[in-house]
Amino acid sequence: MATSISNVLVPFSSTHEASFRFIHPKFPTSPLTRCQKSIKVVKHSNASTSIAAEQEHGHDEAAPPHRHQRETNKHMLEEAWREIQGENDWAGLLEPMDPLLRMEMIRYGEMAQACYDAFDFDPFSKYCGSCRFTRRNFFSSLDMSHAGYNVTRYLYATANINLPNFFKHSRWSKMWSKHANWAGYVAVSDEARSKRLGRRDITIAWRGTVTRLEWVADLMDFLKPISSNGVPCPDQTVKVESGFLELYTDKEEECGYSKYSAREQVLTEVKRLLEIYEKEEVSITVTGHSLGSALAILSAYDIAETGVNGVGVPVTVMSYSGPRVGNVRFKERLEELGVKVLRVVNVHDVVPKAPGVLFNEHSPAPVMKIAEALPWSYSHVGVELALDHKNSPFLNPNADAVCAHNLEALLHLLDGYHGKGERFVLASGRDPALVNKGCDFLKDEYMIPPNWRQDENKGMIKSNDGRWMQPERPKIDDHPEDMHHHLSLLGFSSFDIMHG
């Protein structure tokens, strides 16, 4: 018998979206966290009653064996954070999945997802291409007040690069910027979060492309020495994809937002924050999805290569659905610098398979030796965790290819993954409805509308005289006044500083 929608809706607050949780007889159950145990079913069928009751009492028949034992025996995060950040290349933490590591991977993935949720991609908004919120209200505006981080700087990239599916512009002649797009943010953990983490954490989150996959075809797919764009490297054979490098290093002097390159913005902010917290233990975590993952890997390399992180400050990349970035020598140089990269991918996603379709890490060693001089010979970096959306009972196995690249879907897969051969069971009770926030991936039987996240009235408000209008936004932050000071400390030439 079909259950009406009024019978299955349960109020539920996700990690950063106010939504509803759908209680359904086919949903695998898992223990609720302390805050979730207050969930009550207002109106229910017999089926939803039994499942709600199981959740109320922490019933967990479907959980993989020994998971509870592993969770209770594991050190607290504040004691194990270096291991979680990849000190030992996550040896023994992925198979089976360590609960602390899963929690952190989802948390950093949500910080990357925030870049999408905050981005204004509406061409009918004069603020299209910017962030919809101020720095001070960033996390609270996304229902992420619990994040425990303060955004210290917004990052901008110039739209001069040939990546049209990354950049968005308003259709109106009056717009906030003709040359720039908001590309992400830098945030630092507050006192309470730092205490739980066991250190002060500087996080850099990069935005990826919004929905489409066509940006892969926009890539020049041509390797060039990373030093050719001013990024220091003692080895000319260390090469990266030219489009990624241009996006990271290009600037537009006529634009207040992109008069400094994304590279200059990141390095100066990290240096400034490390000076503030020089007497504390600090970590640098860089996160991004899709093209944002490529920028995350590039910026992490740059931070380590230039020595901005100083001595003893680990640099870790949490990468989601990212493409290949450079050649084998780039991979080796990252390892020499001690940068740790954990890549999470969906095996059915096409983006992690590009660029470098012909010559890559899967090619026989003799072939790669011959091909290493070619401008199309790529290699993935770091440690890979490969997930399969066909293992989730929630997801349509035959959905559109774009769905396999969706970040919310990947976080859903992370939440249900316990190890190879283990049953898919949601560990944290993360709302499956989030998967359909920006795509159509959940099975129809769960009755979650596709692409359900949208702004009320498309951002229009009523003025005092009763007329509908687009509201003005507070002045968008550009760059701090001490930018030149930190550029000089980093050794940038006087020409670069004068033209910044």
Distance between CA 186 and CA 398 in Å, rounded? Answer: 37
pLDDT at 71 over 80: no
Higher pLDDT: 418 or 372? It is 418
pLDDT at 54 over 60: no
Q: What is the pLDDT of residues 380-426, one digit of tens each?
A: 999 999 999 999 999 999 999 899 999 999 999 999 999 999 999 99
The model's confidence at residue 440, banded by pLDDT at 50, 70 and 90, is very high
pLDDT recorded at residue 163: 67
Q: What is the pLDDT of residues 142-197, one digit of tens each?
A: 999 999 999 999 999 987 666 666 788 889 888 999 889 999 999 999 999 999 99
Opening angle at CA 294, ends 291 and 298, nearest 5:
145
pLDDT recorded at residue 489: 87
Distance between CA 446 and CA 115 in Å, rounded? Answer: 27
Active-site entry in 179, 380, 405, 418 = 405
* Average pLDDT score, the chain: 83
Higher pLDDT: 93 or 21? It is 93
Structure-token match 């007889």, residue found? 25
Q: What is the pLDDT of residues 11-36, one digit of tens each?
A: 333 344 433 334 343 444 333 333 33
CA nearest to 429, candidates 5, 17, 35: 35
Distance between CA 318 and CA 286 in Å, rounded? Answer: 6
Q: Is 221 a catalytic residue?
A: no
Higher pLDDT: 63 or 61? It is 63
Phi, psi values for residue 160, rounded to 5°:
-75, -15
pLDDT recorded at residue 75: 55
Q: Which residues contact 83 (CB under 8 A, 6 or more apart)?
A: 93
pLDDT recorded at residue 455: 87
pLDDT recorded at residue 485: 84
HEC letters along the chain? CCCCHHHCEEEEECCCCEEEEECCCCCCCCCCCHHHHHCCCCCCCHHHHHHHHHHHCCCCCCCCCCHHHHHHHCCCHHHHHHHHCCCCCCCCCCCCCCHHHHHHHHHHHHHHHHHHHHECCCCCCCCCCCECCCCCCHHHHCCCHHHCEEEEEEEEEECCCCCCCCCCCCCCCCCCCCCEEEEEEEEEECHHHHHHHCCEEEEEEECCCCCCCCHHHHCCCCEEEHHHHCCCCCCCCCEEEHHHHHHHHCCCCCCCCCCCCHHHHHHHHHHHHHHHCCCCCEEEEEEEECHHHHHHHHHHHHHHHCCCCCCCCCEEEEEECCCCCECHHHHHHHHHHCCEEEEEEECCCCHHHCCCCCECCCCCHHHHHHHCCCCCECECCCEEEEECHHHCCCECCCCCCCHHHCHHHHHHHHHHCCCCCCCCCCCCCCCHHHHHHCCCCECHHHCCCCCCCCCHHHHCEECCCCCEECCCCCCCCCCCCCHHHHHHHCCCCHHHHHCC
pLDDT recorded at residue 281: 97
pTM for the structure as a whole: 0.85
pLDDT at 238 over 90: yes
The model's confidence at residue 3, banded by pLDDT at 50, 70 and 90, is very low
Higher pLDDT: 330 or 45? It is 330
Active-site entry in 14, 189, 194, 290 = 290
The model's confidence at residue 482, banded by pLDDT at 50, 70 and 90, is confident
Q: What is the pLDDT of residues 320-330, one digit of tens each?
A: 999 999 999 99
CA 24 centroid distance within chain: 29
pLDDT recorded at residue 404: 95
pLDDT recorded at residue 67: 43
Exposed, middle or buried, 359 (CB in 10 Å: 0-12/13-18/19+)? buried
- Terminus-to-terminus CA distance in the chain, angstroms? 66
pLDDT average, residue stretch 293-315: 97
CA nearest to 358, candidates 386, 397, 393, 324: 324
pLDDT recorded at residue 475: 87
The model's confidence at residue 365, banded by pLDDT at 50, 70 and 90, is confident
Out of 70-74, 172-176, 330-334, give the one with best mean pLDDT: 330-334
Active-site entry in 60, 349, 415, 440 = 349
Q: Which residues contact 194 (CB under 8 A, 6 or more apart)?
A: 200, 201, 280
Q: What is the pLDDT of residues 185-230, one digit of tens each?
A: 999 999 999 999 999 999 999 999 755 676 776 676 789 999 999 9
pLDDT average, residue stretch 450-475: 92
Q: Is 290 a catalytic residue?
A: yes
What CATH number has the domain spanning 80-387+476-498? 3.40.50.1820
- Residue spans of the domains in the chain: they are 80-387+476-498
Q: Is 117 a catalytic residue?
A: no
pLDDT recorded at residue 377: 82
